[in-house]
Amino acid sequence: MKREENLQGTTDITIIQKCLVTNRIILTQDNDFGKLIFTASIPFYSVIYLRPGHFDGKFHIPTLQSILKNKELIQKGTRIVGQRIDKKIKIRIKQIELLQ
């Protein structure tokens, strides 16, 4: 979401719903989005979860570059986990059946 949209303090569910309607990807270091998608079966567009969390954004640039090399895999209903440990990057992609 753009800073100008003034969504600070908005619930995760509202962000998921807004991203679904506008076909936006949620890029996060917070696993709460994944938990909500699975436990509450909330329809979503796509989530990219970067691990380990709470690192400076620059740490995740190589991981994002690896993910974007296969950007055609980022589709509605995909959950992507990118994990970097030292220089090794592991990417898991799961297509989740959306309940409407």
User: What does the pLDDT read at residue 53?
Assistant: 82
How far is 73 from 89, CA to CA, in rounded Å? Answer: 17
* Alpha helix segments (H runs only) across the chain: 12-22, 32-39, 61-68
Mean pLDDT confidence for 5-32: 89
- Per-residue pLDDT tens digits for 55-81: 888 999 999 999 999 888 899 999 999
Cβ-based neighbours of 93, under 8 Å, separated by 6 or more: 73, 78, 79, 80
How far is 54 from 30, CA to CA, in rounded Å? Answer: 8
pTM: 0.86
